[in-house]
A = this chain, B = another copy of it.
């Protein structure tokens, strides 16, 4: 079938969106009020049902595929053309802790001064709901979508997508598309979207030190082991004083940016000073640099992060105890072509060699490979043109983001170009942190952006 030369105007779609803001926000609150914390097995089944119901309600052919963890929900929509665009999204969210740092409860979806606060509203429910409502607006206005659309919505992104790869391999017919739009997007301090065609990988482990068989009175400290000192020493051995990871061969497979990638970075560096302002710090770790240098560091430097540490007495006041067990959660953010499995092995060998054979290492979430898609693709062109139209400014195009996702297992290995950057978050959204929020104006613009993107993608293959 030839591509039709005419795709109806997006203007009435925008009008419909403007006329239905309140219903869309109420729907977003409904999504946000349903907890869905995969790490804590909290509300996941109900959330999957809510997503499935929303897709079916819009007329999608919906398939819910169970996994050993949480189901993958797929919804397929017909279109005016044979072009097929996939949307990758997830219905799980990060754990809401620490709860007492939230101004309103994380699943209350409270609106204050035009901002909606909820765990997951920026990552990723706001994007999911905006995409659903963009489709609804097209349907209400022109009946058919400009192109075919497949929603691929998993429930395990925040725990490392352990079953998505196997699902994709077993259901290539469902996954197949001309291109895939990734889950999230954030406006920077200048209001521009930041677009990308790659993600970092991740390895997430828990390290544990053991002392005596049980906690001891700390007066025994001259003779008895202390798991806290032991873990502190092991952790300190993982990085040098500049933060460089000391595990052998850690950097061997790191692919430096190509000249083309460096040109993109030089043209559209991330506004790092705005980030520092958000974080209320004056200097970045690892030293200062030009915006392009700092952007390159953010996107191309693999890291080792202590995400959490705990052990011994952590209550009020004082307790004099030698902790028997102390643990830390560690993530390694990896860049192409680092292999998480090789790094896990090297970590274990390294701890042995450094004199820490007693420190246990186990993986908490499944690892993700880093991915780098082609950058110069029709979807990226459509993303940029539609962003100019809706946001009235120039989006940034960068080779990749510093975040992680299953881009390799869902797209790259099947040759599907994956592009991200369309979304309803902004630089201050506090993703993964207390008081996560979006600005509702970004939510409405995000809907329009997706509506315009469908038309652009359908018209310019």
A residues apposed to B, CB below 8 Å = 38-40, 94-95, 97-98, 101, 158-160, 200, 202, 204, 211-226, 228-229, 232-233, 235-236, 239, 241, 243, 272, 275-276, 278-281, 284-286, 294, 297-298, 301, 303-323, 326-329, 331, 333, 364-365, 401-404, 430-435
Contact = CB atoms under 8 A, between A and B. Distances in A.
A401 B315 CA distance: 27
A211 B243 CA distance: 15
Counting from the closest, the 8 A-B pairs by CB-CB distance are A39-B317, A308-B312, A228-B306, A212-B279, A213-B280, A221-B303, A219-B402, A308-B313
Nearest to A97: B315
Nearest to A402: B219
A298 B223 contact: yes
B403 A213 contact: no
A321 B96 CA distance: 11
A331 B320 contact: yes
Contacts of A333: 218-219, 221
A307 B216 CA distance: 10
A322 to B, nearest CB: 6
Contacts of A323: 306-309
Given A317-B39, A329-B313, A403-B219, A224 B308 contact: no
Contacts of A310: 309-311, 314
Given A223-B294, A286-B223, A331-B218, A307 B281 contact: no
Nearest to A218: B305
A166 to B, nearest CB: 19
A267 B380 CA distance: 83
Contact of A308 (B298, B304, B314, B328): B314
Nearest to A401: B219
